[in-house]
Structure formats: C-alpha cells, structure tokens
Chain A
Amino acid sequence: DTAVSQTPKYLVTQMGNDKSIKCEQNLGHDTMYWYKQDSKKFLKIMFSYNNKELIINETVPNRFSPKSPDKAHLNLHINSLELGDSAVYFCASSLGGPGGEQFFGPGTRLTVL
C-alpha cells in the first residue's frame, strides 16, 4: 500500500557514471516533485511536474533530467555524476489546490565515489 515509492533506496556509483532514480505514486495526485537533501540536511526543490508537464526547474545542472511518462511516475536521470551529487533525493506528490499536503517517498541515498 505504499503511497510514494522510489527505487533504488541506495545507489553507490563512480564519478562520471550515468544513473536513474524511479518514483511512482498511487495516490492519484496530479503534481510530483524532486527534492535534494544534502549532508547538512537542507531540503531543496529541484523539479516539479503537474500533469506530466514541467512547471518548476530550479537552478539545477542540466546533467539532471526529469522524465514523467505519466501522472503517476516521475523519474530522475543524472549524467556524468560528480562527487557533489552525493545526497538523499526525495520524490513527493500532491493534489491540486493550495495547502495540498505533499507526500514524500522514502528517499534514495546516492553516494558518488
């Protein structure tokens, strides 16, 4: 009955590699997000998709490319990984309208060696 799921939970990889993180929500929400939480625990928005359309793209290197094949999925592909990409990446979703509670996935801990 997982509401927002992410795979993988842990990802350890070498600098320069390309990797993907998958996110799925079964809540019927229309908006999905990617957040990055760094080593100092600061949680920052990266992308937001509403009905499969990109609506927020914060100052994120273009090595990061989100893809939303349908409203229930938002994947994150990262090219040419760098040491500074090491962080926990959280996917979240919400339903339209202000005050909509965002439900977060369990997070993907990415470690770049």
Chain B
Amino acid sequence: GQNIDQPTEMTATEGAIVQINCTYQTSGFNGLFWYQQHAGEAPTFLSYNVLDGLEEKGRFSSFLSRSKGYSYLLLKELQMKDSASYLCALSGSARQLTFGSGTQLTVLP
C-alpha cells in the first residue's frame, strides 16, 4: 500500500519563499508528482521526480529523497495567485496517482 503525509495548511507572505513537505511510504516507487489545485478547479501538473535530487521549473522546484521517503515543493517569490491546495501524489504501477490530502497554502499581502 501507499501512505502520504503533508501538512494541512500553511501561510506565507507575498514575495517570500515557502517549502511544502511530503513524506511517504510505499511498497513500490514509480515516481512522485506535485499538483496544484485552485478552489473549484481541476488539479494541474507542477512537477515530477523519479530520481533523487532537485528539479527546477521557474519559481517552483521539487526535491526528492527516495531513501528517506521525502519530497518537498519549494515556491519562490510568492504571488497572491499561488494561494491554492498543493497535492503530493505517488505514481502506481498502472500510472494511477495516489494523492495526499493536500496542503492549503494561503499567501498574504
């Protein structure tokens, strides 16, 4: 089976940097995804990690340590529009995603 933990809520200030952590246990690792979901909208893809290390994409970066069962999503230069739920997800053997419960990020002016 798979188990994913991430904080329920986080708050940060516009222009700041925030790190959202995700820890997981899984019997077979096929990759870890981060998705963003604004209220009332569909999840949208942010990043994918399958090897250890940091993947950078503009203001967003994602890190993975397979030995520690740990990932984080780093958001830099926060903007108000970054207020959303951030979902950590593990990829299964059939490419289905098992999602964590999501971290609701609120960006304050």
Are A and B bound to each other? yes
Contact A48 B96 (CB under 8 A): yes
Q: Of A13-21, A60-68, A73-81, A102-110, which binds chain B?
A: A102-110
Q: Which residues of A contact B30 (CB under 8 A)?
A: 98
B96 close to A43 (CB less than 8 A): no
What distance in Å separates the Cβ of B99 from its nearest Cβ neighbour in chain A? 4
Shortest CB–CB separation between residue B105 and chain A, in angstroms?
13
Q: Is the CB–CB distance between A104 and B42 below 8 Å?
A: yes
Stretch at the interface among B17-25, B63-71, B72-80, B87-95: B87-95
Smallest CB separation, B29 vs chain A (Å)? 10
Task: Tell me if A40 and B101 are in contact (CB < 8 A).
Answer: yes
Interface pair A98/B95, CB less than 8 Å apart: yes
Q: Is the CB of B94 within 8 A of A56?
A: yes
A19-33 vs B, Cβ < 8 Å mask (1 yes, 0 no): 000000000000101
Chain A residues contacting B94 (CB-CB under 8 Å) are 48, 50, 55-56
Does the CB pair B91–A99 fall under 8 Å?
yes
Q: A98-B50, A101-B45, A104-B44 are in contact. Are A45 and B102 (CB under 8 A)?
A: no
- Seen from chain A, the residues whose Cβ lies within 8 Å of a Cβ on chain B are 31, 33, 35, 40-45, 48, 50, 55-56, 90, 94, 98-107
Hey, which bits of chain B sit against chain A, CB under 8 A?
30-31, 33, 41-45, 48, 50, 85, 87, 91-92, 94-99, 101-102
